[in-house]
Structure 1
Amino acid sequence: MNPTAHHYGITVSDLDRTLTFYRDVLDLEVIAEFSVGGDAFATGVDVPGAGAEFVHLDGGDARIELVAYEPEGDSRPRPSLDEPGATHLGLAVDDLDSVYADLPDSVETLSEPQTTESGTRILFVRDPEGNLVELLET
């Protein structure tokens, strides 16, 4: 078996608001929008009666998948990077300082851009749902 990345999925409660962030703030292109439901889907995701709305965004080598389920599950606490099982989406950018300067005031950042010991410049932001996104310049 030689798997390759197809997509990175992020479950959201407000698909329109979250799509606006990824499309308009992070400038990711929408490549597909669709709905999925039915018994096979509900069984496959182990959520009785589930259906979902999907948006796929162009993330370069893999898609970024935003998905809103019906019925919606319980909310979870805001993620922290040091928690086992924590996840984040990493997106490479050409000019991190420019991206940072252009972020709307409504976008929460964990800090200003930082240069790590490895020489990589990083900036963590939260999407409107509180999910962590790492913007990095190498």
Structure 2
Amino acid sequence: MASTRAHHVGVTVADLEGAVEFYRDVLGLDVLDRFTVSGEAFASAVGVEGATGEFVHLDADGARIELIEYEPEGEERTVPSVNQPGATHVGLAVSDLDGFHKSLPDGVGTLSEPRTTDTGSRILFVRDPEDNLVELIEA
């Protein structure tokens, strides 16, 4: 069996530029690359007839976050909750969770104030502009 290693975490969005602004300007990630993928091989690989994907890769201190906007766009989904089967979130480390929380622009939704778990980790969940969950952790 071939060995595997992490390459990226993908987040599908409806408004790529709005998502890039959030991940770049609010979360402080650097844009690494922008590109478009289309054609029959891509459409077949993702299982979406006639698909085209607009991609932006961002650097999260060595971890790659991949934002994708598809054409045709899929159906809307319910607002995700962390306890839903299949729920996903992006996890990012911060050195000062309280400072990060205080610096959030108005309108950025959070699930709560920063909390300390029974393991001693401090966490805060925020929602990106499309309600995707992002966990900030001060371990």
Q: Write out per-residue CA displacement over residues 83-132 of structure 1, whole angstroms, 9 at most, x where no aligned residue.
A: 11111110001110110000011100000000000000000000000000
- Residue identity in the other structure for 2:13: V
User: Which residue of structure 1 aligns with residue 12 of structure 2?
Assistant: 11
Q: Following the alignment from structure 1 to structure 2, what is the Cα–Cα distance between the partners of residues 91 and 3?
A: 22
- Residue identity in the other structure for 2:5: T
Q: Following the alignment from structure 1 to structure 2, what is the Cα–Cα distance between the partners of residues 75 and 19?
A: 20
Total equivalences in the alignment: 138
TM-score (norm 1): 0.98
User: Which residue of structure 2 aligns with residue 37 of structure 1?
Assistant: 38
Q: Following the alignment from structure 2 to structure 1, what is the Cα–Cα distance between the partners of residues 134 and 82?
A: 11
TM-score (norm 2): 0.97
Q: Following the alignment from structure 2 to structure 1, what is the Cα–Cα distance between the partners of residues 130 and 84?
A: 18
Equivalent residue runs for 1:62-101 within 5 Å: 62-101=63-102
In the TM superposition, what is the alpha-carbon distance from 1:2 to its structure 2 partner? 2.4
- Residue identity in the other structure for 1:99: F
Q: Following the alignment from structure 2 to structure 1, what is the Cα–Cα distance between the partners of residues 82 and 128?
A: 15
Contact 1:92 1:135 in 2 (8 A): yes
- Residue identity in the other structure for 1:9: G
Structure 2: gaps spanning 5 or more residues? none
3-state SS of paired residue (1:109): coil
Structure 1: gaps spanning 5 or more residues? none
In the TM superposition, what is the alpha-carbon distance from 1:59 to its structure 2 partner? 1.8
Residue 110 of structure 2 is aligned to residue 109 of structure 1: yes
Contact 1:5 1:61 in 2 (8 A): no
- Residue identity in the other structure for 1:43: S
3-state SS of paired residue (1:108): coil
Shift >3 Å, 4+ stretches: none
Q: Following the alignment from structure 1 to structure 2, what is the Cα–Cα distance between the partners of residues 2 and 116?
A: 34
The percent of aligned pairs where both chains have the same amino acid is 61
- Residue identity in the other structure for 2:67: L
- Residue identity in the other structure for 2:73: E
Residue 26 of structure 2 is aligned to residue 25 of structure 1: yes
Q: Following the alignment from structure 1 to structure 2, what is the Cα–Cα distance between the partners of residues 20 and 122?
A: 23
